[in-house]
């Protein structure tokens, strides 16, 4: 046993190795990505790891591995579970032999996400167990239990850490790595694995019959527990339970929910022993709804009567506010306002990012156009006025074709990254060509899944474990979908890019332009060195063209442009400067 | 309410705040103390405003409430003022005298307070202001400014200076151990003994 200061996701990854995981798949997504980023580099135990092309693919792979009797982990972010929802729902019917843990990380407050959906609702919907840890140590300890529970009930188990678990740190007590490995073996059993109607009706009944025993087991195992300390009570789940424990006044009973489904009879006994109950949980009122079902005439305070918010994330301050409003506590935190009028510092595209240059060229050629975009670093193109829509992975191309077919007369130009294109973009392109849309697709190809931490994808030329793999040809893929206009360009060659965009603008049909350049972060790590650029103050006339380009390396001081040390030498600003004042820095 | 010692480290994505928080976490382990923390990952790391919470002797949640931090370490003047409301009235502040203007100032014509205005506003707290970039460069590498900041803040932390240094030496890349040792010591001198 050793003590380590670890990120929640690192602790979870280590727990998987302790639990004897044999198969790992997933698609990167904040806040889940570091689980596989850690697992792909652990030499102490031998197991299979892949970054899959999307979450549906990842889950089907992991499910099949678990059918073969080995322990499988599948990771994704909450919205990835929507992509994997199809296999998820029916995997509850077929069940598993080896343990299958599906980690779906929720992101209350949408720190890095397009919505605030709650994975616990999927567990409820699919009728499978779900773990909801309250701390990094608990997340670590529950992984082993999750695999065991999955094997005991022959069901996939959801594991729902939130951002404040995944990206929290703590001193974690680790266990020993399990050395013995299993070898998969598939036993044919069509009644279990072929879900034709005659089989699936039986499987559905069996799934429902498992439920009461699961509820009992979660209480027996102590995941859901309480302490009676008075006539009023707080019931809390997930990280919310940690915040409540920090503030819990004496004489208030406390129930902690860390796993679902909740045993209603057990819950009802607890609630009935109190005069009023407050429920604290992040996002959906999953616990509160069951509390209300069993509360009878005991007053319940929570989201449904306005005491707690449905949206956003909890914090010690927010929880203290809820407890005060419901009459459980006098808020111990003084009311403090942040200093006003500080200019915001949102994330921005890096200096030298290929996306900035591509967006700038698109805006120059397609002045009055609609710009659907997608999920990735390039969503930050919003700051450049080059992103009009984002909804979910792959939806740039489909939204573009929908707008193009709607009768909207303006040009439609959409942007999508290489990883997102391979995730769920290809089908949209196939559909657009098949149905005769008029639109331009720009694939922003940096050969890596950058935003989530530079995970490789089929376009990179290597697997999760660094083994060489044949890089896919995006050009051939687009041609195979039926696109006749497919052009590759270098976004650092601004003039060349404008020329190709102009050619695409003049044509009908679906046109694809692949803007290829390495991610600047990958380039820096790979040791690529380009000379920095500088502004000649004599030639600079202060027109501000370069500043509007939005590169963080360009500053404007005393009505003149300056280039700071962030410059990566992409040279695009030098091509844009109407005065010709930007040039390569002389070697010192 | 936590009986522990709460530290907030703030800066700009890419400045090395995460390594700084790891050093504190590791130092707590060396001294056998509990520690909790939370930090910014994902998209916000792309040049955005980032924060790391570290709760020494923390038992429950990883987040510090506004008005509760004992110490704020800021790698940038503007970020120091942005997060200053997290400090207790008796809280201490260690700030790098360096101002990176956000791109929003140029592209949206927003007005940022001047260095002098920020420093005046920060002076209501016990403040240690230092030029970490210069000290780091003098120590051998501008990349060691995060370690300079920790050195300067060490006098106000409930951790032994020797433990912090041990933790620095353990966590930085092997080739840079000597530079970072020097950076820590020069930062500690710049921060003044307490």
The burial class, CB within 10 Å (0-12 / 13-18 / 19+), for A57 is middle
pLDDT in tens, A382-428: 989 999 999 999 999 999 999 999 999 999 999 999 999 999 999 99
Looking at CA atoms only, how far is residue B83 from chain A in angstroms? 7
Helix H segments across A6-98? 8-18, 34-39, 55-67, 78-83, 85-94
Token reading at B45 = 């790391």
Mean pLDDT of chain A: 96
Residue A1 confidence (pLDDT)? 60
Looking at CA atoms only, how far is residue B129 from chain A in angstroms? 19
CB contact under 8 A, A345 and B104: yes
Looking at CA atoms only, how far is residue A202 from chain B in angstroms? 44
| Maximum separation of any 2 CA atoms in chain A, in Å | 82
Q: Which residues of A are less than 8 Å from B35 in CB distance?
A: 5, 169-171
Alpha carbon of A374 to those of A382, A392, A438: distances in Å? 11, 7, 19
- C-alpha neighbours within 13 Å on the C-beta side of residue A229: 14
d(CA A416, CA A395): 9
Give this complex's ipTM. 0.95
Domains (range + CATH), chain A: 2-220 (3.40.50.970), 225-325 (3.40.50.920), 354-525 (3.40.50.970), 533-584 (3.30.70.20)
d(CA B162, CA B168): 10
Q: Of A112, A245, A342, which has the smallest distance from its Cβ to B43's Cβ? A: A112
CA–centroid distance for A370 within its chain: 26
Confidence of residue A201 (pLDDT cuts 50, 70, 90): very high
Q: Does domain B5-101+111-191 have CATH number 3.40.920.10?
A: yes
CB contact under 8 A, A242 and B61: yes
Q: Which residues of B are less than 8 Å from A349 in CB distance?
A: 46
Q: What is the mean pLDDT of residues A73-99?
A: 98
Q: Is A6 helix (H, G, I), strand (E, B) or coil?
A: strand
**Which residue in chain A is spatially nearest to B55 when comparing CA positions?**
A170
**Which residue in chain A is spatially nearest to B21 when comparing CA positions?**
A169
Token reading at B64 = 């510090």
Q: Which residues of B are less than 8 Å from A239 in CB distance?
A: 61
Nearest C-alpha neighbor of A77 from the set A14, A122, A129: A122
Token reading at A551 = 């590169």
Helix (H) or strand (E) holding A560: strand A560-563
Q: Which residues of A are less than 8 Å from B13 in CB distance?
A: 347
Contacting B residues, span 126-185, partner chain A, CB-CB under 8 Å: none
Q: Contacts by B188-193 with C-beta closer than 8 Å and gap 24+? A: B188/B151, B188/B152, B188/B154, B188/B155, B188/B161, B189/B151, B190/B130, B190/B135, B190/B148, B190/B151, B190/B152, B191/B94, B191/B128, B191/B130, B191/B151, B191/B152, B191/B153, B191/B154, B191/B155, B192/B128, B192/B155, B193/B155
Q: For the full predicted model, state whether its pTM sits above 0.90.
A: yes
CB contact under 8 A, A5 and B43: no
- C-alpha neighbours within 13 Å on the C-beta side of residue A203: 24
**Which residue in chain A is spatially nearest to B121 when comparing CA positions?**
A339
Question: Looking at the complex, does the CB of residue A144 fall below 8 Å from at least one CB of chain B?
Answer: no
Q: Contacts by A226-229 with C-beta closer than 8 Å and gap 24+? A: A226/A253, A226/A254, A226/A255, A226/A256, A226/A270, A227/A253, A227/A254, A227/A255, A228/A253, A228/A270, A228/A273, A229/A253, A229/A254
Positive or negative CA dihedral for A83, A89, A90, A91? Answer: positive
pLDDT in tens, A445-482: 999 999 999 999 999 999 999 999 999 999 999 999 99
Q: How many CB atoms lie within 10 A of CB A200?
A: 15
Confidence of residue A44 (pLDDT cuts 50, 70, 90): confident
| Maximum separation of any 2 CA atoms in chain B, in Å | 50
pLDDT at residue A569 tops 70 = yes
d(CA A82, CA A424): 12
Confidence of residue A41 (pLDDT cuts 50, 70, 90): confident
Q: Of B29, B85, B112, which has the smallest distance from its Cβ to A171's Cβ? A: B29
Confidence of residue A588 (pLDDT cuts 50, 70, 90): low
Residue A135 confidence (pLDDT)? 97
Residues A492/A479, Cβ–Cβ less than 8 Å: no
Spatial strand order of the sheet with B126-130 comes to A2-7, A168-174, B35-39, B49-56, B5-12, B69-74, B87-96, B126-130
**Which residue in chain B is spatially nearest to A319 when comparing CA positions?**
B65
Contacting B residues, span 26-55, partner chain A, CB-CB under 8 Å: 26, 28-29, 33-49
Contacting A residues, span 381-440, partner chain B, CB-CB under 8 Å: 383
Residue B105 confidence (pLDDT)? 84
Q: What is the mean pLDDT of residues A516-523?
A: 96
Alpha carbon of A270 to those of A199, A278, A289, A346, B166: distances in Å? 40, 13, 15, 46, 50
pLDDT at residue A499 tops 70 = yes
DSSP state of A168: E
pLDDT in tens, A244-254: 999 999 999 99
**Which residues, listed in sequence order, are joined to residue A582 by a DSSP beta bridge?**
A535
Those residues with Cβ within 8 angstroms of residue A287's Cβ, 6 or more apart along the chain or in another chain: A235, A237, A257, A262, A279, A281
Q: What is the mean pLDDT of residues A159-173?
A: 97
Q: Of A332, A336, A343, which has the smallest distance from its Cβ to B105's Cβ? A: A343
**Which residue in chain A is spatially nearest to B105 when comparing CA positions?**
A343
pLDDT in tens, A252-267: 999 999 999 999 999 9
Q: Is B8 helix (H, G, I), strand (E, B) or coil?
A: strand
Those residues with Cβ within 8 angstroms of residue A281's Cβ, 6 or more apart along the chain or in another chain: A236, A237, A238, A240, A257, A287, A288, A308
Looking at CA atoms only, how far is residue B51 from chain A in angstroms? 12
Q: What is the mean pLDDT of residues A11-40?
A: 97
Residue A90 confidence (pLDDT)? 98
Q: Which residues of B are less than 8 Å from A164 in CB distance?
A: 38, 61-63
Question: Looking at the complex, does the CB of residue A344 fall below 8 Å from at least one CB of chain B?
Answer: yes
Question: Looking at the complex, does the CB of residue B106 fall below 8 Å from at least one CB of chain A?
Answer: yes
- Secondary structure string (H, E, C) spanning A407-461: CCCCEEEEEEEHHHHHHHHHHHHHHHHHCCCCEEEEEEECCCECCCCCECCCCCC
Question: Looking at the complex, does the CB of residue A175 fall below 8 Å from at least one CB of chain B?
Answer: no
Low-confidence ranges of chain B (pLDDT < 50): 1, 194
Q: What is the mean pLDDT of residues A82-93?
A: 98
CB contact under 8 A, B42 and A315: no
Determine the residue among B46, B79, B115 to mutate to test chain A binding: the one whose Cβ has the most chain A Cβ atoms within 10 Å: B46
Helix (H) or strand (E) holding A265: helix A264-272
Contacting A residues, span 297-336, partner chain B, CB-CB under 8 Å: 315-317, 320, 332-334, 336
Q: Is A471 helix (H, G, I), strand (E, B) or coil?
A: coil
Q: Could you state, in order of their start, the residue ranges of all structural domains in chain B?
A: 5-101+111-191
Burial letters A512-550, b for 16+ CB under 10 A, else e:
bbbbbbbbbbebeeeeeeeebbbbeeeebeeeeebbebb
Q: Of A171, A246, A333, which has the smallest distance from its Cβ to B60's Cβ? A: A246
- C-alpha neighbours within 13 Å on the C-beta side of residue A259: 25
Q: Of A334, A341, A451, which has the smallest distance from its Cβ to B43's Cβ? A: A451
Confidence of residue A587 (pLDDT cuts 50, 70, 90): confident
């Amino acid at each position: 046993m050793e003590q380590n200061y670890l990120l929640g996701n690192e602790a979870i990854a280590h727990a998987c190795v302790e639990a004897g995981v044999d198969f790992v798949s997933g698609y990167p997504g904040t806040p889940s990505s570091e689980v596989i980023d850690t697992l792909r580099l652990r030499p102490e135990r031998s197991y299979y790891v892949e970054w899959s092309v999307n979450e549906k693919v990842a889950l089907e792979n992991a499910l099949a591995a678990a059918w073969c009797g080995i322990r499988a982990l599948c990771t994704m972010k909450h919205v990835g579970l929507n992509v994997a929802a199809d296999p998820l729902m029916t995997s509850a019917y077929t069940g598993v032999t080896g343990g299958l843990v599906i980690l779906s990380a929720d992101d209350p407050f949408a720190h890095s996400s397009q919505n605030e959906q709650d994975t616990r609702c999927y567990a409820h919907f699919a009728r499978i167990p779900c773990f909801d840890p309250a701390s990094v140590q608990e997340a670590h300890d529950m992984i082993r239990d999750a695999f065991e529970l999955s094997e005991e009930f022959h069901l996939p188990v959801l594991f729902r850490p939130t951002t404040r678990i995944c990206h929290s740190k703590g001193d974690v007590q680790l266990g020993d790595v399990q050395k013995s490995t299993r070898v998969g073996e598939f036993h044919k059993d069509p009644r279990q694995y072929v879900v034709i109607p005659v089989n699936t009706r039986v499987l559905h009944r069996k799934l429902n019959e498992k439920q009461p025993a699961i509820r009992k087991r979660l209480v027996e195992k102590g995941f859901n527990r309480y302490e009676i300390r008075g006539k009023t009570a707080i019931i809390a789940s997930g990280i919310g339970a940690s915040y409540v424990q920090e503030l819990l006044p004496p004489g208030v009973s406390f129930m902690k929910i860390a796993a679902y489904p909740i045993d209603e009879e057990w819950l009802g006994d607890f609630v009935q022993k109190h005069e009023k109950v407050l429920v604290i949980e992040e996002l959906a009122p999953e616990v509160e709804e069951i509390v209300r079902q069993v509360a009878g005439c005991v007053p319940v305070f929570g989201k449904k009567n306005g005491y707690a918010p449905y949206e956003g994330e909890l914090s010690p301050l927010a929880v203290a506010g809820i407890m005060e409003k419901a009459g459980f506590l006098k808020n111990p935190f003084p009311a403090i306002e942040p200093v006003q009028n500080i200019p915001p510092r949102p994330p921005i595209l890096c200096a030298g990012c290929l996306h900035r240059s591509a967006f700038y060229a698109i805006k120059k050629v397609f002045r009055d156009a609609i710009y659907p975009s997608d999920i990735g670093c390039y969503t930050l193109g919003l700051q450049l006025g080059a992103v009009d829509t984002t909804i979910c992975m792959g939806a740039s191309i489909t939204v573009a074709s929908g707008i193009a077919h709607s009768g909207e007369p303006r040009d439609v130009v959409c942007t999508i990254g290489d990883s997102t294109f391979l995730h769920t973009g290809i089908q949209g392109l196939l559909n657009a060509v098949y149905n005769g849309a008029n639109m331009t697709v720009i694939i922003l190809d940096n050969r890596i899944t950058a935003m989530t931490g530079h995970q490789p994808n089929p376009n990179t030329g290597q697997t999760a474990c660094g083994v060489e793999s044949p890089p896919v040809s995006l050009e051939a893929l687009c041609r195979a979908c039926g696109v006749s206009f497919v052009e590759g360009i270098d976004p650092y060659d601004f003039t060349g890019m404008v020329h190709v965009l102009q050619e695409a603008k003049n044509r009908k049909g679906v046109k694809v332009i692949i803007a290829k350049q390495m991610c600047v972060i990958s380039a820096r790590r790979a040791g690529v060195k380009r000379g920095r650029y500088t502004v000649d103050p004599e030639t600079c006339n202060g027109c501000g063209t370069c500043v509007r380009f939005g590169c963080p390396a360009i500053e404007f001081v005393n009505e003149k442009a300056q280039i700071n040390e962030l410059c990566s030498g992409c040279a695009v600003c030098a091509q844009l400067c109407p005065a010709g004042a930007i040039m390569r820095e002389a070697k010192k | 309410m936590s009986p522990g010692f709460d530290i907030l480290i703030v800066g700009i994505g890419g400045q090395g705040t995460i390594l700084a928080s790891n050093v504190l976490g590791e130092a707590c382990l060396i001294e056998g103390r509990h520690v909790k923390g939370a930090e910014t990952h994902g998209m916000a790391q792309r040049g955005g405003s980032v924060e790391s919470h570290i709760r020494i002797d923390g038992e429950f949640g990883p987040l510090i409430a506004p008005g509760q931090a004992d110490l704020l370490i800021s790698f940038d003047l503007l970020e120091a003022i942005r997060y200053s409301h997290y400090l207790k009235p008796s809280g201490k502040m260690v700030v790098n005298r360096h101002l990176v203007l956000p791109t929003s100032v140029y592209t949206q014509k927003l007005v940022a307070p001047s260095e002098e205005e920020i420093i005046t506003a920060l002076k209501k707290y016990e403040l240690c202001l230092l030029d970490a970039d210069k000290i780091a460069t003098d120590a051998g590498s501008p990349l060691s400014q995060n370690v300079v900041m920790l050195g300067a803040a060490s006098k106000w932390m409930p951790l032994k200076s020797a433990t912090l240094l041990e933790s620095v030496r353990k966590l930085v890349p092997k080739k840079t151990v000597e530079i970072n040792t020097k950076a820590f010591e020069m930062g500690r001198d710049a921060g003044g003994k307490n």
